[in-house]
Structure 1
Amino acid sequence: MKLNCLYIAGALAFALNFTGCTNLDEKVYSSYTDENFPSSPEQYASMTGPIYVAAQKLFDNNLYELQEMGTDEIFVPTRGGDWYDGGRYVDMHYHIWTPSHILIKNAWDSGFSGIGTCNQVLSQFEALPDNDGKAQTIAEIKVMRAWFYFYMMDTFGGVPIVTKFDQSVEAPSANTRQEVFDFIAKDLEENTEYLSNEANNKTYGRPTQGMAYTLAAKLYLNAEVYTGKPQWEKAEYYCDKVIALNQYQLGDYFDMFKPDNGAKDKEPIFSVPFDANKAKGNRWFLRTLHFSHQKTFSLSQAPYNGWCVAPDFFDFYTDDDIRKKIFLYGQQYDASGNPMIYNGVNVVLDP
């Protein structure tokens, strides 16, 4: 009987395969073509997705380390065999890095990768017909490009200005810091009016007028450093523009750092979203927490026991400064409130 069943199953399979190979007609329920995609504001927005992935990588690929590890704000001691990493963090702490340092290379690469992504997506829009949402989307792309360029200019000074996505173009020479400053200012000035003036769940993580005005304010606030000429009045002007939108308000200091800050908090002006399922990559908490804090915060992964703050910097905060609560120090506890024991040792973090 078993043999007969196999013969029958084999015959049926052959018949099905044979039938499938001779009938190649398929019923198409929907399809995207050049004529129908993109054709709505939602579809326009979906095309910009790679830009925001690049924004995530900008801060995950060493720009933040490059900015902060040469200060007292982030200190990465070598712990036994951990965290030496070829001396990259020692170099930053003692200010002995070179132009070929890995953090410099990674920050440069991720920044210009973001700029290139903006140019690539922008080139895809050039041939599209005018539709609702096109002007706003192009403005968002250019403001995000200005955002990338702001960090590149702030970090490196004079950098190449690239506005076209063309792999055949030779490597451009660097522009002056003044030229980059003017380029950023021009893109912000020409595109901000096309952005949404609202800060809500729909615009969360995307450039809005408030974000562009704030970026312009930061640009002019530091104008004397960037160009040698102070521009305090323009910095004040753009700060007033942010306030006039009436979209933001100061709230609880710690609410800004909660996972749902975009849904509840009105203080953040621009956020780079991460999500445990849809937008992974946020590893800051893993880098800064002790191994034992996996039980404190019920984490699925053990932290790395790495970054901390220099003791002298920590001591600048007075005990009545609410910001001091952001640091973990003293006796540590698990999620149930019990004193933490790790490898038989009571976990006390000594500032």
Structure 2
Amino acid sequence: MENKKILRIAFIALLGGVFGCTDLDVTPKNAAVGDVVFTDPAAYKQSLAKVYAGLAIGGQSSGDGNSDISGIDGGFSQYIRMYFNLQELPTDEAVIGWNDGTIQTLHFQNWTSQSEFINAMFNRVYFQVSMANEFLRQTTDDLLTARGVTDAMKADIKQYRAEVRFLRALSYWHGLDMFGSIPLVPETNPIGTDAPGQPEGGKQDVFNYIESELLAVEPDLGGAKKMEYARVDQAAAWMLLAKLYLNAETYIGTKKYTESLTYLNKIIASNAYTLDPVYGNLFLADNHKSPEIIFPVAFDGTYTKTYGGTTFLAHAAVGGDKMKPSDYGIDGGWAGLRITSNVVNLFGPADGRGNFFTDGQSKDIPATPNTSFNQGYAHPKFQNVTSQGSPGSNSTFADTDFPMFRLGDVYLMYAEAVLRGGSGGDAGTALDYVNQLRVRAYGNTNGNLQAADLTLSFIIDERGRELSWECHRRTDLVRFGLLTVNDSNDPRAIWAWKGGESAAGKQTQAFRNVFPIPAAALTANTKLKQNDGY
């Protein structure tokens, strides 16, 4: 297996860099992707690779140069880096030691619609949508026939289209989760068409669209783990459906835990994935070998030279006087990311998932997060070294893939859906799945639970232990009623500097469970309506 083949393809001068993006209407600036480009049959797979690459790189040239998103650096605005910032910095799982622009407002939870980081994430979603739509416009049956595409190639393109529709649904899901009611851009809209407003049915229509797209493409995707590495298969679609349904009560006020279990069971029954025997190997430079990862965003230090993605996660987690960058396969620490004491306290002393660097670091963060890297434990979870201890291929740019979906999450989602009353699963199986994660974490059965221990309160804490820094925390805390205000005064709803006033933290207002529609988008598109509270 060529471990990162799909993203290598993306860098062979794909489409001459034809996909750019404006800041406001988030449609490609250039659309020279018609008959001239697609006269070569290989261009279809290259164009597919470009849509995948939109998750991994931030610009049209090496090192994120010629940014996809105008008005912000390509590396700063790379998809996974922006997703991490919005999913982790507003929570107890991460603070950052920088003062770039409005970045501190993310942890303080006092952001506004003027935030360049929120704007960049919103635009990343629609840049992906625009690329997907253009691919789909250029691969209709009529166009393929007119170009004389063979039947065999048409069969391949049918699968490519299913993958692209999945990738579009993934970005729409990110948009729904972070922004609530968002516009749905018809793929038939030619470049330059006025951007639509939010659908009349709001979040329900967005939810329905994502669901219908995933159900429609499922039959045309490859079987679980039957595809080239890092390409979408049926298990990825099942996972996204399961996540959509697990959060349905948050999104649309309707419980769909049974539906979530239906698709979690499909993943498990496929027998295509097993837990990685070594937890830490999931986050190393050769994690493409892991049997656990269902869908990664692939990175390669030679071919995907981005300052976002796992390059950001590896470098930003290293700093201070005690940490040696070479131990983590990198050429220097950026002294940025740390973790709050709330999350540190979730881990028992024998839990092997608690990868914290404490030498020279205080556990607490008494001053504001951007004051000193030494406040808060470092959490070098993502590293640019292999499971054999060798450095990655490039000490500046990481080889480590980002595990968007993996089996450990499936097991915890299964347990949660059962506890929330979903049918199609049972408590005994849920307990077994959780204990499998605990055995891996502890190296023995000392951390195993009894049936009475498996509660929703345990699940949110276990998700913090198992999935830290994997871009789940904000979504999880919203679902558990802990991100902003908490009516039962659960102490877990408060962490250092939440609210931005003091190290003690405070509860914040519920409207911050979603981000605002960016002011720039509202200015450019008067059809958009701002979210309540902003």
State the TM-score, normalized to the length of structure 1: 0.77
Distance, in Å, in 2 between the alignment partners of 1:327 and 1:204 is 30
User: Are the aligned partners of 1:286 and 1:302 in contact in 2 as well (CA < 8 Å)?
Assistant: yes
- Equivalent in 213, 218, 234 of residue 238 of structure 2: 213
- Equivalent in 65, 79, 82 of residue 62 of structure 1: 82
Distance, in Å, in 2 between the alignment partners of 1:266 and 1:74 is 28
Shift in Å, 1:331: 6.8
Q: Which residue in the other structure is 2:217 paired with?
A: 191
Q: Which residue in the other structure is 2:198 paired with?
A: 174
Q: Which residue in the other structure is 1:76 paired with?
A: 96
Letter in 2 for 1:55: L
Query: Structure 1's 234 and 44: CA in aligned 2 closer, same or farther, altered over 3 A?
Result: same
Letter in 2 for 1:95: Q
User: Are the aligned partners of 2:51 and 2:128 in contact in 1 as well (CA < 8 Å)?
Assistant: yes
Distance, in Å, in 2 between the alignment partners of 1:303 and 1:36 is 46
Distance, in Å, in 1 between the alignment partners of 2:232 and 2:48 is 12
- Equivalent in 144, 150, 170 of residue 128 of structure 1: 144
User: Are the aligned partners of 1:330 and 1:349 in contact in 2 as well (CA < 8 Å)?
Assistant: no
- Equivalent in 279, 286, 294 of residue 325 of structure 2: 294
CA-to-partner distance for each residue in 1:65-120, whole Å, 9 max, x for gaps? 0121111111124xxxxx1123x233122211101111110110111101111111
CA-to-partner distance for each residue in 1:128-150, whole Å, 9 max, x for gaps? 14423121111111011101111
Q: Which has the larger radius of gyration?
A: 1
Letter in 1 for 2:317: T
Distance, in Å, in 1 between the alignment partners of 2:265 and 2:298 is 26
In percent, how many aligned pairs have the same letter?
A: 27
User: Are the aligned partners of 2:204 and 2:251 in contact in 1 as well (CA < 8 Å)?
Assistant: yes
Q: Mapping of 1:307-318 within 5 angstroms?
A: 307-318=337-348
Q: Which residue in the other structure is 2:312 paired with?
A: 283
Secondary structure class of the residue paired with 1:62: helix
Distance, in Å, in 2 between the alignment partners of 1:34 and 1:250 is 42
- 146-155 or 311-320, which moves further after superposition? 311-320
Query: Structure 1's 89 and 350: CA in aligned 2 closer, same or farther, altered over 3 A?
Result: closer
Distance, in Å, in 2 between the alignment partners of 1:270 and 1:54 is 15
Q: Which residue in the other structure is 1:12 paired with?
A: none
User: Are the aligned partners of 1:75 and 1:307 in contact in 2 as well (CA < 8 Å)?
Assistant: yes
Distance, in Å, in 2 between the alignment partners of 1:116 and 1:348 is 42
Query: Structure 1's 313 and 121: CA in aligned 2 closer, same or farther, altered over 3 A?
Result: same
Shift in Å, 1:260: 1.7
User: Are the aligned partners of 1:91 and 1:97 in contact in 2 as well (CA < 8 Å)?
Assistant: yes
Aligned residues: 293
State the TM-score, normalized to the length of structure 2: 0.52
User: Are the aligned partners of 1:153 and 1:181 in contact in 2 as well (CA < 8 Å)?
Assistant: yes
Pairwise CA RMSD of aligned residues? 2.4
Letter in 1 for 2:198: A
User: Are the aligned partners of 2:48 and 2:164 in contact in 1 as well (CA < 8 Å)?
Assistant: yes
Higher helix share: 1
Q: Which runs of 5+ in 1 are unaligned?
A: 1-31, 78-82, 333-346
Q: Mapping of 1:43-192 within 5 angstroms?
A: 44-56=44-56, 57=58, 59-77=79-97, 83-86=98-101, 88-126=102-140, 127-129=143-145, 130=151, 131-164=154-187, 165-175=189-199, 176-192=202-218
Distance, in Å, in 1 between the alignment partners of 2:295 and 2:45 is 17
User: Are the aligned partners of 1:198 and 1:247 in contact in 2 as well (CA < 8 Å)?
Assistant: yes
Letter in 2 for 1:308: R
- 52-61 or 178-187, which moves further after superposition? 52-61
Secondary structure class of the residue paired with 2:335: coil
User: Are the aligned partners of 1:178 and 1:226 in contact in 2 as well (CA < 8 Å)?
Assistant: yes
Asked whether 1:320 is paired with 2:350, we answer yes
Higher relative contact order (CA 8 A, sep 6+): 2
Query: Structure 1's 35 and 320: CA in aligned 2 closer, same or farther, altered over 3 A?
Result: closer
Distance, in Å, in 2 between the alignment partners of 1:313 and 1:101 is 26
Query: Structure 1's 34 and 89: CA in aligned 2 closer, same or farther, altered over 3 A?
Result: closer
Distance, in Å, in 1 between the alignment partners of 2:304 and 2:239 is 25
Distance, in Å, in 2 between the alignment partners of 1:350 and 1:226 is 33
Shift in Å, 1:330: 2.6
- 168-177 or 143-152, which moves further after superposition? 168-177
- Equivalent in 268, 275, 290 of residue 243 of structure 1: 268
